[in-house]
Structure 1
Amino acid sequence: MTVFNAKEINKVPFESNIIPKGNRNRPAYSMNPRYITIHTTANQNAGTDARAHARYVNNGGGSAGVSWHFTVDDNRIVQHLPLNENGWHAGDGNGAGNRSSIGIEICENRDGNFEKALTHAAGLVKFLMAHLGLKIGNVVSHQHWSGKNCPRPIFNRPGGFEGFKRMIE
């Protein structure tokens, strides 16, 4: 089981809040991660930070039963699934997005600092790439798997998704 036992990752406070075994959104299918998929939460409500999203996935991930590996905000990184288990985040069913990709959600809450959350997410991706031996070409957007316009706020930034990848490097 690959759950990090750390107080911080790249100087960002880290918490482990793993979805309970048996939850329908924790499929527990074995996974050898080959990609890192970047999402944004599309939830701009005040208070919808990484801990709020941890509560959401721990309570079943809504009607769709979604799950992902990490949520990042301007204050912390929270892990929800072991790296060797898949999540339901890519929108491609049993395709490579869900079955071979680590899902990272970046918070968009209006009472948070999105730029700081992006910086924290870039640091997490860099850490994971080193930990897993992945290259920058294996960092993809949610859109890569399903065509969904996600991560929209990153696409809409100067430099777009390639600009985010430059932040990682």
Structure 2
Amino acid sequence: MVQSVLFFVLGFLCAGFVALMIAPAIWRRAVTLTRKRVEGSMPLTLAEIQAEKDRIRAEFAMSTRRLEMSVKALREKSAEQLVEIGRGREALKELALERKDKKQALSALEAKGEDLRQRKDQLQLLSDRLAQTEHALEKRVLELKKLEHMYDDASFSSSSRQIELV
């Protein structure tokens, strides 16, 4: 059993020694690859640096232009909306004025309607009084006819008596 542990420890130490021998080579390779990647992403010459600046300026100019265009479009849209709001306000003013005129006309018509109702009531009252007066007049005419007939009868009988007396 001790022998197994010693073999295991010896194997572990050999593996560690081999790893220490290979590690610097792997480390150098990783450093080289990283350096190439960093150098590839960063400009090294003055022309490359100037080109990178120009690219960044162009991107900034493009984004600025896009923003300016969107601001211009928003301003135009805002101006159109303000014009539309102004039209709406004018329409509301016209509608309010029209409503006021219609209210006044309605009030005038209601007053005329009330006046007509009063006149109708007066006419109805006068019509009733006229009917009563006509009825009374008809009674009077009948009474006068009776009286006239009675007068004629009395006159006839008086003349007959005078004739008899003579």
Q: Same fold judged by TM-score > 0.5?
A: no
Q: Which has the higher strand share?
A: 1
Q: What's the TM-score bracket when you normalise by the shorter of the two chains?
A: under 0.3
Q: Which has the higher helix share?
A: 2
Alignment TM-score, normalising by the size of structure 2 = 0.16
